[in-house]
Amino acid sequence: MVELSQDELELFVTEAEENIANLENGLLKLEREGDAALVAELFRYAHTLKGSAGAAGLTEMSQLAHAMENLLEEVRNGTRKVTSDLVDTLLECVDMLRAMVLAIQENGKQPDPSMLIKKLSNLSDQQSDSDASDHKPSSPVGEIPVTLNIFIKPECPMPSVRAFQAYLIMSRYGEIVSLEPPVSEIQAGRAKYRLVAKVKLSDDNSLSELEQELTKFDDLVVEVQRQKDGQKVSEIVTAQKEVETSTAPQAELQSVRVSIEQMDALLNLVGELVIERARLERGVRKVAEINGNGIAEELQGVTERVSRIVSQLQESLTRTRMVPLNVVFARFPRLVRELSRSMGKRVQLKIEGEDTEIDRALVEKLNECLVHLVRNAIDHGIEPPDERIAAGKPPEGLIEISASQSEGSVIVVVRDDGRGIDPNKIRRKAIERGLLTEEQASSLSDDEAIQFIFRSGFSTKEEVSEVSGRGVGMDAVKNAMEQIGGTIDLHSQIGAGTTVTLRLPLTLAIIPALLVRVGGRLFALPMHSVTEVLDLQRSDVQEIGTGEKVLVLRGNPLPLFSLAKLLGIPNGRTEGTGVIVRQQEKLIAVSVEAVEGKDEIVIKPLGYPLHNLRSFIGATILGDGSIALIVDLNGVTIRR
Amino acid sequence: MVQVMEEKQERNIVVFRLNGTLFALDIQNVQEIVQQSDIVSVPGAPTFILGIVNLRGRIMAVVDTKRLLGIGETSTDKVLVMVAQIGEHLVGFTVDEVEQVTRVASDSIEPVSDLVSPEEARRLEGILKLDGKLVLLLDANRLLDEETLEAAMSQQH
């Protein structure tokens, strides 16, 4: 293998992963709605992979990609039909490619693809034997030359070398009719930042391949002009002039790659900055108390500006941590295909809103939850085809995963049109498990009964199936969601299906929070769960029975709890302030001694062994270095 | 005498005192010892958790080692905290006093016999004698494992 530098290796791996993922997605689509454009696209991915693997000296990977390319070529020219078996085989290749890339990353032993390559070439042989005569020679050499304007970006360190590389590549694809500047000039090191080449290509298809191969160099921009006879060359010339006169490169570099560690380090620094900002503000306030004007005023002005900049810095950095949900959703088509096939079910998967962004730190947990929910939907929800037909449904079940953003949260919904959850089954199970008495069970509404699915160790499917597993069930999903400050909501209707709604915070790192005083200490309440703050003295608070309180808010009676009591801390102080918060999608009122302000806080985990504590999502370090616990209102159990 | 093939194994341990009893941890598990004054109690945490501290910008739980081991409790004002690395976690353990850091021969560490309850024996790697005094060598990996945590939680509720 060619020795690649660390950077080159990383670049190769990232590109390969992208191509492999594209291949996989495309293949899954191909089975369902294959069209010529898609096949051509797949062919391109395999081709690119073949090229880059070859260039990196990964002969076996390149060979595998080549074998895939051959099969896809047969699909493209119509000599091979798309069957489930073909897709299976090609997906097998995708897995192998993935394993190979992984082995490179981890410096492990390269898996051996020779069996798979053989399988593929056997497939190809069978086909070509049956219609050998069909094997057309490539299209006749293009009569009309194509004009390529190749711009070399100013940041390219050795433009002549790059120009010569481009020349070599073009000459592989066809006959170069003319080249400006001529090869001799290029070889003499006198290449400018542009190349104009007229190339007669060997066939039509190779144009996009050539283009792709050229643009693999980040510092090349390629413009293709299919020249009709008699077309004026002046247009091209003006284009060149523009490039020459403007110092800016034709296409700006759109993105840079930054390692995750680096991102996290930056975010940590900003976190520290946020803490120091609070300290600075406090200090300036103190100075203002002593020295009312003059120096204090000036300091205040500076502090305000610094604060604003820190806020903006924090906001844009947090934004860079966001990733589109596509990174999570992308694996589901494959998962659904495999699971539904193994269970003899037919399932169509619809994905919506994959552009919605979430904090990278949430990706893993969300993925965990979704895998669980989708497995459940296929295993328990979607009925086998005959059962569906008997129920008057289409034989193919539908699972929808959709994502959207609203009010500082990301909402992910998993919906299936399966048989739904039978509340009576849940009731029976809850009685069996000793969770409910007969009476209690019958007094529960259907919706309430269904919520028992979230109790730990609760699983209603009689036999333990390989897919959904034992023990861990919806309770695991609920726990995972709560750990990241999210909520889960489930609705089901017998015969019509089940809808699970996950609500996640946008970001985990830095959140706005309300600082409240409880039991003489400061606690933080995440702003996303706070709806309003009010003076209890001026509110309509009514006592019901034995000390239970209700706050009537605009005619709406809300239960009122002491936050100190909810948290289980002693309090002997007057709690004069009420905070209306959202708990499990419902509004409740909690009383606190005082609201001390609103602050941007950096969430830090409580650390082992407190990581499972349900009342707090973490702690934060305040401006004076002291610690405030961040209350998780969904984790607080209501007790009076 | 025939040379013994096996090399004499040695271990570095940190010996500390808790209510008059000597305990030790392998130095590999000990990162540092810090004086802590503002320990923030965490409502709802197991009783053997004294609270959390700000360790250079990082939040760390501090265990009341005496409560954990069932030999009393730590007064909260100002405590000496031994910062221990347990697996990938940093956890603080209160100690009364650090006696010494010393090197001992591995074979001088004897298995815990029936001297202690099985519950206690789980947390101990062994017992050794140092200057005529008994030292209980704690097993850092078991000090706060699932079993301990579960037992502590169930006691509480």
Q: Give the residue with greater pLDDT, B78 vs A366.
A: A366
Position A172 pLDDT exceeds 60: yes
Asked if B111 is an interface residue toward chain A (Cβ–Cβ < 8 A), one would say: no
**How far are the Cα atoms of A541, A544, B134 from residue B149, in angstroms, in the given order?**
41, 39, 27
State the DSSP code for B14: E
Token representation of residue A478: 């609920």
Whether B59 sits inside 8 A of A605 (CB atoms) is yes
Per residue in A459-475, pLDDT (tens digit) is 654 444 444 443 357 88
pTM across the whole model: 0.49
Band of pLDDT at residue A347, cut at 50, 70 and 90? very high
Query: Beta strands of B2-73 (E only): which ranges?
Result: 10-18, 21-26, 30-36, 49-55, 58-63
Band of pLDDT at residue A122, cut at 50, 70 and 90? confident
A212 — alpha (psi -120 to 50), left (phi > 0) or beta? alpha
Strands A409-416 and A530-535: unpaired
* C-alpha angle A545-A548-A549 in degrees, rounded to nearest 5: 115
pLDDT (0 to 100) of residue A82: 84
Per residue in A531-560, pLDDT (tens digit) is 999 998 888 888 887 778 899 988 888 999
pLDDT (0 to 100) of residue B26: 93
pLDDT (0 to 100) of residue A125: 67
- Nearest of A499, A513, A522, A493 to residue A603 by alpha carbon: A513
Band of pLDDT at residue A637, cut at 50, 70 and 90? low
Report yes or no: A595 and A515 within 8 Å, Cβ to Cβ. Answer: yes
* C-alpha angle A205-A210-A215 in degrees, rounded to nearest 5: 135
C-alpha A305/C-alpha A613 separation (Å) is 38
Strand (E) or helix (H) holding A12: helix A6-33
> What is the average pLDDT value for chain B, to the nearest integer?
85
Per residue in A186-235, pLDDT (tens digit) is 777 777 777 888 888 777 667 778 888 888 877 787 877 764 444 434 34
* Percent of chain A whose pLDDT exceeds 70: 86
Band of pLDDT at residue A241, cut at 50, 70 and 90? very low
Per residue in A275-305, pLDDT (tens digit) is 788 788 888 888 888 776 677 788 888 888 8
Band of pLDDT at residue B156, cut at 50, 70 and 90? low
Whether A567 sits inside 8 A of B89 (CB atoms) is no
Q: Give the residue with greater pLDDT, A359 vs A248.
A: A359
Position A137 pLDDT exceeds 80: no
Q: Which residues of B touch A626 (CB under 8 A)?
A: 38, 40, 54
Q: Give the residue with greater pLDDT, B149 vs A310.
A: A310
Q: Which residues of B touch A568 (CB under 8 A)?
A: 43-44
Position A372 pLDDT exceeds 70: yes
Distance, in angstroms, between B61 CA and closest chain A CA? 6
* C-alpha angle A35-A36-A38 in degrees, rounded to nearest 5: 70
C-alpha B20/C-alpha A237 separation (Å) is 92
Strand (E) or helix (H) holding A429: helix A423-432
Beta bridge partners of A559: A550
Mutate to test the interface with B, among A608, A620, A621, A633 (most CBs of B within 10 A): A608
Report yes or no: A504 and A358 within 8 Å, Cβ to Cβ. Answer: yes
Interface of A with B in 594-623 (CB under 8 A): 604-610, 613-616, 618-619, 621
Asked if B92 is an interface residue toward chain A (Cβ–Cβ < 8 A), one would say: no
Q: Which residues of B touch A521 (CB under 8 A)?
A: 40
Position B79 pLDDT exceeds 70: yes
DSSP assignment of A435-456 equals SS-HHHHHHS-HHHHHGGGGST
ipTM: 0.88
Q: For the residues B79-102, what does the mean pLDDT come to?
A: 91
Band of pLDDT at residue B66, cut at 50, 70 and 90? very high
Q: For the residues A159-168, what does the mean pLDDT come to?
A: 80
Position A575 pLDDT exceeds 90: no
CB proximity list for A50: less than 8 A, separation 6 or greater: A62, A65, A66, A69
C-alpha A286/C-alpha A274 separation (Å) is 19
pLDDT (0 to 100) of residue A336: 92
Name the least confident of A8-12, A90-94, A376-380, B95-99: A8-12
Whether B53 sits inside 8 A of A627 (CB atoms) is yes
Query: Beta strands of A506-615 (E only): which ranges?
Result: 510-518, 521-526, 530-535, 540-544, 548-553, 556-562, 577-583, 586-592, 594-602
Q: For the residues B19-38, what does the mean pLDDT come to?
A: 90
> How many C-beta atoms lie closer than 10 Å to residue A28's C-beta?
19
Q: What does the buried/exposed string (b/e) look like for B66-84 if buried means 16 or more CB atoms within 10 Å of the residue's CB? A: bbbbeeeebeeeebbbbbb
* Nearest-CB residue to B44 (from A567, A605, A607): A567
Report yes or no: A441 and A449 within 8 Å, Cβ to Cβ. Answer: yes
pLDDT (0 to 100) of residue A132: 39
Per residue in A44-58, pLDDT (tens digit) is 888 888 888 887 888
Asked if B38 is an interface residue toward chain A (Cβ–Cβ < 8 A), one would say: yes
Estimate to the nearest angstrom the gap between the alpha carbon of B35 and the chain centroid. 16
Asked if B20 is an interface residue toward chain A (Cβ–Cβ < 8 A), one would say: no
Whether B42 sits inside 8 A of A610 (CB atoms) is yes
pLDDT (0 to 100) of residue A417: 94
pLDDT (0 to 100) of residue A631: 92
Whether A607 sits inside 8 A of B90 (CB atoms) is yes
Q: Which residues of B touch A605 (CB under 8 A)?
A: 59
In angstroms, what is the C-alpha Rg of chain A? 32
